[in-house]
Homo-oligomer: A and B are copies of this chain.
Amino acid sequence: MSPIGILKNKESSAGVFESSRIPLGQYIFERLASSGTRTIFGVPGDFNLSLLEHIYNPEVALKGIKWIGTCNELNAAYAADGYSRYTNKIGCLITTLGVGELSALNGIAGAFAEDVKILHIVGVAPSQFYEGRVQNCHNVHHLVPAASDSNFCAPDHRVYHDMVDKRISCSSAFLDDLSSACDEIDTVISDIYRNSKPGYLFVPADYADKLVDARNMEIRPTITLQDVVSGISVNNHKCQELAEYILELMYDSSRPAIIADVLCDRYGLTSSLRELVNQTHVWNFASAMGKSILDESNPGFRGVYNGSESQEQVVTDIQSCDFLLHVGIVRNEMNTGHYSYKFSNYSKIVELHPEYVNFIDTDTGKTRCMTGQYFFKVLDTVKRMVDPTKLHLKYQETAVSEAQETCGPPHSPVTHSYLQTHFPKLLSSGDVFVVDTGSFQFGVRDYRFPSDLKYISQSFYLSIGMALPCALGVGLGMQDYPSDHIISSALVPKNYQPRLILCEGDGAAQMTIQELTSFLRYNVSLDLFIWNNGGYTVERAIKGPNRSYNDIMSWEWTEILRVFGDPKLEKSVSHKVSSTGQMAKLLETFKRANQQNKLVRLVEVILGVMDFPEQLKSMAVACRH
């Protein structure tokens, strides 16, 4: 028998000897609370119930931990992703062996691809199956049997662990040794912050109640992003030299530029970068995935640079710059306009990466890489040392052509072209704007956002249907950490209640629609726009515009909230809009505070089947094989 007893009730562990011993389940949740996570998503299952019980432990509840049950596990993963994207803390989901964890897999892969911090905890079969106390060919439910004759071959209890390990997980632990379990948990949590990628904990069903030594909680009372970042040892002297050199390059330049990329957000550098921009007034750009990191209402913000797929003015502006400070770079097809980034060959480029700095001379094409230089530290030092009086900025102002306000007569159909000019008016500083993969998303790139709007979109992995459950996670993050995304509260109207706005296409919505019920269940305010264009318009733009494979069923979208938990329409209101006149009126109503005082406001907007934004064209061409 294991020397570690089972905590039957609170009293039995009150002895002196066991003072720092708590059940493993309690340790997991207290550790999560200490790292900033308050909401746990997931679905109960046979092998995680003992673990879930610890959420109701008063000491755990006191730390703010709460359970949010989702309709299925993929939605839980998407919600955890949204929670992390909004809070910049770890999004956590709990599933059960096999049936649960595998259902969530695509959500974890998406987080891995887009550097989102998720902890996926899986309740696995009890320890007796690993410790040989049960005949070794025992095939437990939810576990795939061995590929050979499963009547005589033992199943592999780590089969699912081996699928994800190192492929879509930066760190994982199968907690089959209680003596090291707490250390392993702490390591996985640190690794998730350090790498900004998902990690896994596999918890045997009978271990949640077993006692562990909770000493680690005293040694490291918290494990936050800040703790992990500041725990990295840095050569301050070298960092200072480096910052001086970067500043010299900037002072030497007459047209410097800053490009904010997605890792600035993931490593919490948003406010530092905004400060640097405000101090220096240099021109600044965002990458496609870095959109909304910088204050787009700032006149020095020149737009989103997406290589040759950017707006013409953005390309002209960036080509005119002779020094570029490019921070938090992720290079992929979508974030670089299909690898079409191009700077002038007289410009000098400094790339700040999480763990190194690159100096690129575009003239010679030579790159000098300095490792062991962490971008959070370097950026901070640059910001601290910068002397704006040494800058001599001489930008060539280009005439920015104002977008044409095209709306036609009020009975005209709503088009993407109409939305491109009119939808942005809905957005206010302080709002959180979640957009699903789809035709509409491509136009958003060129919106000019208000100063403190947080934009959340899966722009590289592109899994349709992700945004609705993601928005649930965002909304719960907004409940746990209200206004955490607001950098300069002065720019948000007084007493303004930040809104959560979600846009998605009808095909995407059908993928994960059941999760809409959770907004009603957990009182998460939402303004939801569903673009009803009769199917998969992105795919139609690529191939088969009239093929049945791009069709979907026509639904009564405005009736759906009634069915999903609001039969008397006490908490929700739904609208259907098909003309620009109706749309203009609706945007005006929605722009004013939520006077209807409804939790969820759903708007179905009828769009043309083959209507899509200009910006989708290059993507569509690239995808034609």
Judge whether A559 is part of the interface by a CB distance below 8 angstroms: yes
- The 8 A CB mask of A308-338 against B (1 = contact, 0 = none) is 0000000000000000000001111110000
CA distance A143 to B567 in the complex (A): 41
Q: A461-B99, A542-B46 are in contact. Are A329 and B151 (CB under 8 A)?
A: yes
Judge whether A109 is part of the interface by a CB distance below 8 angstroms: yes
Judge whether A135 is part of the interface by a CB distance below 8 angstroms: yes
Residue of B nearest to A351 (CB): B151
CA distance A67 to B137 in the complex (A): 40
Task: Choose the segment among A48-56, A401-409, A580-588 that binds chain B (4+ C-beta atoms closer than 8 Å).
Answer: A48-56
Judge whether A112 is part of the interface by a CB distance below 8 angstroms: yes
Task: Choose the segment among A164-172, A228-236, A376-384 that binds chain B (4+ C-beta atoms closer than 8 Å).
Answer: A164-172
Q: A102-B106, A553-B518 are in contact. Are A44 and B544 (CB under 8 A)?
A: yes
Q: A53-B547, A69-B548, A551-B69 are in contact. Are A461 and B517 (CB under 8 A)?
A: no
Judge whether A427 is part of the interface by a CB distance below 8 angstroms: no
Q: A514-B513, A563-B563 are in contact. Are A69 and B549 (CB under 8 A)?
A: yes
Residue of B nearest to A518 (CB): B553
Judge whether A82 is part of the interface by a CB distance below 8 angstroms: no
Residue among A109, A143, A170, A334 with most chain B CB within 10 A: A109
CA distance A147 to B195 in the complex (A): 9
Measured CB to CB, the closest approach of chain B to A22, in angstroms, equals 18
Judge whether A524 is part of the interface by a CB distance below 8 angstroms: no
Contacts of A461 in B (CB 8 A): 98-99, 141-142, 144
Judge whether A423 is part of the interface by a CB distance below 8 angstroms: no
Q: A99-B106, A151-B353, A550-B44 are in contact. Are A543 and B53 (CB under 8 A)?
A: yes
CB within 8 Å of B: which A26-73 residues: 44-47, 49-50, 52-53, 55-56, 67, 69, 71-72
Judge whether A145 is part of the interface by a CB distance below 8 angstroms: yes
CA distance A170 to B334 in the complex (A): 35
Residue of B nearest to A134 (CB): B339
Contacts of A552 in B (CB 8 A): 69, 71
Contacts of A103 in B (CB 8 A): 74, 105-106, 463
Judge whether A521 is part of the interface by a CB distance below 8 angstroms: yes
Contact across chains for A547 and B52 when beta carbons are under 8 A apart = yes
Residue among A52, A72, A143 with most chain B CB within 10 A: A72
Contact across chains for A46 and B332 when beta carbons are under 8 A apart = no
- The 8 A CB mask of A94-112 against B (1 = contact, 0 = none) is 0000110011011001101
Q: A44-B549, A98-B106, A514-B513 are in contact. Are A331 and B150 (CB under 8 A)?
A: yes
Task: Give the copy number.
Answer: 2
Q: A69-B551, A135-B339 are in contact. Are A333 and B140 (CB under 8 A)?
A: yes
Contacts of A563 in B (CB 8 A): 555-556, 559-560, 563
Contacts of A151 in B (CB 8 A): 329-331, 353
Contacts of A159 in B (CB 8 A): 167
Contacts of A332 in B (CB 8 A): 139-141, 145, 150
Judge whether A447 is part of the interface by a CB distance below 8 angstroms: no
Contact across chains for A543 and B69 when beta carbons are under 8 A apart = no
Residue of B nearest to A459 (CB): B141
Judge whether A533 is part of the interface by a CB distance below 8 angstroms: no
Residue of B nearest to A113 (CB): B144
Measured CB to CB, the closest approach of chain B to A161, in angstroms, equals 11
Judge whether A625 is part of the interface by a CB distance below 8 angstroms: yes
Judge whether A536 is part of the interface by a CB distance below 8 angstroms: yes
12 A-B pairs with CB atoms under 8 Å apart are A67-B548, A98-B106, A103-B463, A105-B105, A141-B462, A147-B166, A150-B331, A150-B332, A151-B353, A163-B163, A520-B553, A559-B563
Nearest 5 pairs of A and B residues by beta carbon: A139-B332, A102-B106, A99-B463, A205-B625, A49-B543
6 additional A-B residue pairs with CB within 8 Å, beyond A49-B544, A553-B564: A49-B549, A67-B548, A113-B143, A145-B332, A163-B164, A555-B564
